[in-house]
Protein backbone atom coordinates (compact mmCIF):
# COMPACT_ATOMS: atom_id res chain seq x y z
CA UNK A 1 0.00 0.00 0.00
CA UNK A 2 3.04 2.27 -0.04
CA UNK A 3 3.06 4.94 -2.71
CA UNK A 4 6.29 3.76 -4.31
CA UNK A 5 6.89 5.01 -7.85
CA UNK A 6 8.20 1.71 -9.28
CA UNK A 7 5.27 -0.56 -8.41
CA UNK A 8 2.71 2.19 -8.98
CA UNK A 9 3.96 2.96 -12.49
CA UNK A 10 4.20 -0.74 -13.39
CA UNK A 11 0.64 -1.30 -12.19
CA UNK A 12 -0.62 1.66 -14.22
CA UNK A 13 0.97 0.12 -17.34
CA UNK A 14 -1.16 -3.00 -16.94
CA UNK A 15 -4.70 -3.36 -18.17
CA UNK A 16 -6.94 -3.82 -15.10
CA UNK A 17 -8.28 -7.09 -16.54
CA UNK A 18 -4.71 -8.48 -16.50
CA UNK A 19 -4.30 -7.99 -12.74
CA UNK A 20 -6.05 -10.09 -10.10
CA UNK A 21 -6.02 -9.34 -6.42
CA UNK A 22 -6.21 -12.49 -4.25
CA UNK A 23 -8.62 -12.29 -1.33
CA UNK A 24 -5.90 -13.30 1.18
CA UNK A 25 -3.88 -10.24 0.07
CA UNK A 26 -6.93 -8.06 0.67
CA UNK A 27 -7.26 -9.62 4.13
CA UNK A 28 -3.61 -8.87 4.95
CA UNK A 29 -3.98 -5.25 3.83
CA UNK A 30 -7.18 -4.83 5.87
CA UNK A 31 -5.45 -6.32 8.91
CA UNK A 32 -2.57 -3.88 8.52
CA UNK A 33 -5.01 -0.97 8.30
CA UNK A 34 -7.00 -2.16 11.31
CA UNK A 35 -3.85 -2.19 13.43
CA UNK A 36 -3.03 1.44 12.71
CA UNK A 37 -4.15 4.15 15.11
CA UNK A 38 -6.66 6.64 13.77
CA UNK A 39 -4.62 9.13 11.79
CA UNK A 40 -4.31 10.98 8.50
CA UNK A 41 -1.99 8.19 7.26
CA UNK A 42 -4.60 5.52 8.05
CA UNK A 43 -7.29 7.48 6.20
CA UNK A 44 -5.00 7.94 3.17
CA UNK A 45 -4.12 4.25 3.09
CA UNK A 46 -7.83 3.42 3.36
CA UNK A 47 -8.53 5.65 0.34
CA UNK A 48 -5.74 3.96 -1.63
CA UNK A 49 -7.18 0.57 -0.78
CA UNK A 50 -10.66 1.65 -1.86
CA UNK A 51 -9.23 2.85 -5.19
CA UNK A 52 -7.37 -0.42 -5.67
CA UNK A 53 -10.42 -2.51 -4.81
CA UNK A 54 -12.61 -0.51 -7.21
CA UNK A 55 -10.13 -1.00 -10.05
CA UNK A 56 -9.08 -4.64 -9.72
CA UNK A 57 -10.93 -7.92 -9.93
CA UNK A 58 -10.41 -10.47 -7.16
CA UNK A 59 -8.89 -13.88 -7.70
CA UNK A 60 -11.57 -16.10 -6.23
CA UNK A 61 -10.73 -18.93 -3.86
CA UNK A 62 -11.99 -21.91 -5.84
CA UNK A 63 -11.29 -25.67 -5.89
CA UNK A 64 -8.10 -25.23 -7.95
CA UNK A 65 -6.75 -22.78 -5.38
CA UNK A 66 -7.61 -25.19 -2.55
CA UNK A 67 -5.84 -28.04 -4.37
CA UNK A 68 -2.76 -25.88 -4.91
CA UNK A 69 -2.79 -24.76 -1.28
CA UNK A 70 -2.96 -28.34 0.01
CA UNK A 71 -0.27 -29.58 -2.37
CA UNK A 72 2.08 -26.69 -1.59
CA UNK A 73 1.65 -26.96 2.17
CA UNK A 74 2.30 -30.71 2.10
CA UNK A 75 5.37 -30.26 -0.14
CA UNK A 76 6.83 -27.60 2.15
CA UNK A 77 6.18 -29.71 5.27
CA UNK A 78 7.83 -32.68 3.58
CA UNK A 79 10.93 -30.51 2.96
CA UNK A 80 10.85 -29.24 6.55
CA UNK A 81 10.04 -25.68 5.49
CA UNK A 82 7.24 -23.39 6.54
CA UNK A 83 5.44 -20.49 4.89
CA UNK A 84 2.74 -18.46 6.64
CA UNK A 85 -0.71 -19.71 5.61
CA UNK A 86 -1.82 -16.36 4.16
CA UNK A 87 1.35 -16.13 2.05
CA UNK A 88 0.81 -19.73 1.00
CA UNK A 89 -2.80 -18.92 0.06
CA UNK A 90 -1.61 -15.97 -2.04
CA UNK A 91 0.88 -18.27 -3.78
CA UNK A 92 -1.83 -20.88 -4.36
CA UNK A 93 -4.03 -18.25 -6.00
CA UNK A 94 -1.20 -17.22 -8.33
CA UNK A 95 -0.38 -20.79 -9.32
CA UNK A 96 -4.02 -21.75 -9.87
CA UNK A 97 -4.56 -18.66 -12.02
CA UNK A 98 -1.23 -19.11 -13.89
CA UNK A 99 -0.02 -15.76 -12.59
CA UNK A 100 2.93 -14.27 -10.73
CA UNK A 101 3.01 -12.85 -7.23
CA UNK A 102 4.21 -9.25 -7.17
CA UNK A 103 5.85 -8.39 -3.86
CA UNK A 104 8.79 -6.60 -2.27
CA UNK A 105 9.01 -9.37 0.28
CA UNK A 106 10.32 -12.11 -1.99
CA UNK A 107 11.93 -14.14 0.79
CA UNK A 108 8.53 -15.41 1.93
CA UNK A 109 7.80 -16.82 -1.51
CA UNK A 110 11.12 -18.11 -2.90
CA UNK A 111 10.72 -21.46 -1.12
CA UNK A 112 7.68 -22.19 -3.29
CA UNK A 113 9.43 -23.66 -6.32
CA UNK A 114 6.54 -23.62 -8.78
CA UNK A 115 5.71 -19.94 -8.11
CA UNK A 116 6.69 -17.00 -10.31
CA UNK A 117 7.66 -14.05 -8.12
CA UNK A 118 8.27 -10.49 -9.34
CA UNK A 119 9.63 -7.55 -7.39
CA UNK A 120 8.59 -4.28 -9.06
CA UNK A 121 10.53 -1.97 -6.72
Per-residue pLDDT of the chain (121 residues; tens, 9 = 90+): 555 555 667 777 777 778 899 999 999 999 999 999 999 999 999 999 999 899 899 999 999 999 999 999 999 999 999 999 999 999 999 999 999 998 888 888 989 989 999 888 8
Domains held by the chain: number: 1
- Give CA torsion, residues 26, 55, 51, 62, to 10 deg: -10
CB 83 within 8 A of CB 112: yes
The whole-number pLDDT of residue 29 equals 93
The pLDDT assigned to 7 comes to 63
Q: Which domain holds residue 54?
A: 19-115
The CATH number for 94's domain is: 3.40.50.1010
**Which residues make beta-bridge pairs with 118?**
102
What's the start-to-end Cα distance of the chain, in Å? 13
Amino acid sequence: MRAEPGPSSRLLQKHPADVLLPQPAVAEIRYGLARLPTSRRKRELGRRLATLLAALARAEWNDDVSRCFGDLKAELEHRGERVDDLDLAIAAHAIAHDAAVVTRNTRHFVRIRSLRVEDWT
